[in-house]
Structure 1
Amino acid sequence: MTLVWLFLLTLLPMGTGAEAKTRSILEERVVVDSRAEEVWRQVGMLMGQVVKQHLVGCHLVLAINTNTQHSPVFYHVLRRLAAEVETGLVVEIGSLLSQDAPSHDHLLQGLWGDGSSTCHALILDYTDGDAHSTVRFLEKFGLWLRPETQVVVVGRRPHVSHVLLHPVFRNTLHALYLVLHHTDTLRQLTRTGSSTKGNICPLYVARRHRCYPENFAGHEFEIVDKNYFPYFSFERSSDVPGARVYPTDSLITRMLNTIVPKLNFTHFIREPLDGQWGVPGDGGNWTGIVGELQHHQGDLALDLTVTSQRATVVDFTRIYIDEPVAILSSKPRPLPEYLSLIRPFEGKLWVILLVSIVVWGMTLWLLQKAWSWASGGRGLNLSSALFYSWGAMLQDPPNKPPRNVTAQVLVGWWLVFCLVVTTAYRSSLISHLVVQGKSPVINSAEDLVSREGWSWGTPRMTGALLSYLRSSPNPAILKMYHGMQADSIDEGMNLVLQGGYSFIYNKYYARTLIATRFTDDIGYTPIHISATEYPLFAGDAWACRRGAPFRRRLDLTIQRLLEAGLIAFWMDDVIATHVRNNRKKTQESLGSGANIIYQRDDGQVVLGLHHLQVTFYLLLLSYSLSFVVFLTEKFFHSYHSPQTLSSCQGDFP
Structure 2
Amino acid sequence: MKIEWPGWQRFLLIVLNTASAQRSMTGGDGTNEIRPVVLSIAYLWRNCSYLLFTDGETSGYEALAKVRLHFLCVIVIVVSDRRVFLESFAESSLRGRLLSGTSTLIAVGRLRPQDVEALSAHWTFSMYNALVFAPGSSDGNSRINSSDGKSSGGNSKRWNLYYYMPFTASGGRWIALGHWHPSRGLILQEGRSLLPKKFSNLYGATVNISALPYKPYWMEETNSKGDVIYSGSDKLMLDAMQSTLNFTSRALKVTTWDEVVQRVSERKAWTAPIIHAVYPARLKRFDFTRTYEHDINQAFVMAKPVLEPKWQSLYYPLTNEVWLCILGTLLISCVGLIGVIRGSEQMQQGKKIASGGVILEVLGTLLGQGGLSDRLPVTLSTRLLVLIWLFFAFIVGTLYKGNLVAYLVAPRYPPRPETLEELVKVVKRVTMPYFGETLRELLRNSETDSLRSLGNMMELGHDIDEGLRLTLHNKYPHLGSLRFLQYQVAEHYTEADGTSPLYLGREGVMPILNAWPIPHDAPFKEDLDFVILALIEGGIYNKWMEDWLDEAKKVGRQSRRRQLEAGVPLESWTGDFPTEASVDSEPRALTIVHFQGPLMLLGFGMVFAGVAFIAESLVEWYSSAKAGEIRLRLKEQAIEKLF
TM-score past 0.5 threshold? yes
Q: Residue 237 of structure 2 aligns with which residue?
A: 255
Structure 2 residue corresponding to 1:478, chosen from 453, 474, 487: 453
Q: Residue 403 of structure 2 aligns with which residue?
A: 428
- 1:148–1:549 contact (8 Å) kept in structure 2: yes
Q: Which moved more, 1:206-215 or 1:395-404?
A: 395-404
Q: Residue 151 of structure 1 aligns with which residue?
A: 105
CA deviation vs aligned residue, 1:419-464 (integer Å, no higher than 9, x gap)? 543332111122234x152633635256666669x98745555366
Q: Residue 290 of structure 2 aligns with which residue?
A: 318
Q: Residue 3 of structure 1 aligns with which residue?
A: none
> Which letter maps to 1:251?
S
Measure the CA separation in 2 of the matches of 1:384 and 1:630: 19
Q: Residue 123 of structure 1 aligns with which residue?
A: 77
Q: Residue 4 of structure 1 aligns with which residue?
A: none
The verdict on how the C-alpha distance between 1:356 and 1:96 changes in structure 2, with shifts beyond 3 A counting, is farther
> Which letter maps to 1:248?
Y
- 2:281–2:438 contact (8 Å) kept in structure 1: no
Measure the CA separation in 1 of the matches of 2:549 and 2:536: 18
Q: Residue 624 of structure 1 aligns with which residue?
A: 607
Measure the CA separation in 2 of the matches of 1:164 and 1:327: 49
Structure 2 residue corresponding to 1:61, chosen from 12, 15, 24: 12
Q: Residue 217 of structure 2 aligns with which residue?
A: 231
Structure 2 residue corresponding to 1:93, chosen from 44, 53, 56: 53
How many angstroms does 1:571 deviate by?
1.4
> Which letter maps to 2:316?
R
Measure the CA separation in 2 of the matches of 1:506 and 1:106: 36
Q: Residue 268 of structure 2 aligns with which residue?
A: 297
SS in 1 for 2:411: coil
- 2:430–2:458 contact (8 Å) kept in structure 1: yes
CA deviation vs aligned residue, 1:453-491 (integer Å, no higher than 9, x gap)? x98745555366655665664638835862758655445
Identity score, percent: 19
Measure the CA separation in 1 of the matches of 2:100 and 2:563: 59
The verdict on how the C-alpha distance between 1:487 and 1:360 changes in structure 2, with shifts beyond 3 A counting, is farther
Measure the CA separation in 1 of the matches of 2:50 and 2:360: 107
The verdict on how the C-alpha distance between 1:235 and 1:407 changes in structure 2, with shifts beyond 3 A counting, is same
> Which letter maps to 1:249?
S
> Which letter maps to 1:229?
K
Measure the CA separation in 1 of the matches of 2:412 and 2:328: 30
SS in 2 for 1:248: strand
The verdict on how the C-alpha distance between 1:132 and 1:404 changes in structure 2, with shifts beyond 3 A counting, is farther
- 2:444–2:455 contact (8 Å) kept in structure 1: no
Q: Which moved more, 1:506-515 or 1:568-577?
A: 506-515
Measure the CA separation in 2 of the matches of 1:98 and 1:526: 61
Matches within 5 A, 1:330-341: 330-331=303-304, 333=306, 336=309, 339-341=312-314
> Which letter maps to 2:52?
E
TM-score (norm 2): 0.67
SS in 1 for 2:483: helix
Unpaired runs of 5+ residues, structure 2, are 137-151, 179-191, 344-352, 571-578, 628-643
SS in 2 for 1:176: strand
- 1:144–1:171 contact (8 Å) kept in structure 2: no
Q: Residue 9 of structure 1 aligns with which residue?
A: none
Measure the CA separation in 1 of the matches of 2:560 and 2:392: 61
The verdict on how the C-alpha distance between 1:506 and 1:214 changes in structure 2, with shifts beyond 3 A counting, is closer
- 1:157–1:182 contact (8 Å) kept in structure 2: no
Structure 2 residue corresponding to 1:572, chosen from 513, 522, 546: 546
> Which letter maps to 1:269?
A
How many angstroms does 1:541 deviate by?
1.4
CA deviation vs aligned residue, 1:180-225 (integer Å, no higher than 9, x gap)? 6764444535243579xx9541213774687665323444322111
Q: Residue 184 of structure 2 aligns with which residue?
A: none
SS in 1 for 2:54: helix
Measure the CA separation in 1 of the matches of 2:605 and 2:42: 111
Q: CA RMSD in A?
A: 5.6
The verdict on how the C-alpha distance between 1:403 and 1:531 changes in structure 2, with shifts beyond 3 A counting, is farther
SS in 1 for 2:48: strand
- 2:296–2:482 contact (8 Å) kept in structure 1: yes
The verdict on how the C-alpha distance between 1:544 and 1:313 changes in structure 2, with shifts beyond 3 A counting, is same
Structure 1 residue corresponding to 2:411, chosen from 412, 437, 441: 437
- 1:344–1:425 contact (8 Å) kept in structure 2: yes
> Which letter maps to 1:59?
R
The verdict on how the C-alpha distance between 1:290 and 1:200 changes in structure 2, with shifts beyond 3 A counting, is same
Q: Residue 552 of structure 1 aligns with which residue?
A: 526
- 1:327–1:443 contact (8 Å) kept in structure 2: no
- Does 2:267 align with 1:267? no
Aligned pairs, number: 557
CA deviation vs aligned residue, 1:248-278 (integer Å, no higher than 9, x gap)? 22112211222102112232212435x12xx
SS in 2 for 1:573: helix
Measure the CA separation in 2 of the matches of 1:607 and 1:592: 24
SS in 2 for 1:293: helix
> Which letter maps to 1:86?
R
- 1:458–1:487 contact (8 Å) kept in structure 2: yes
SS in 1 for 2:215: coil
- 2:203–2:246 contact (8 Å) kept in structure 1: yes
The verdict on how the C-alpha distance between 1:510 and 1:97 changes in structure 2, with shifts beyond 3 A counting, is closer
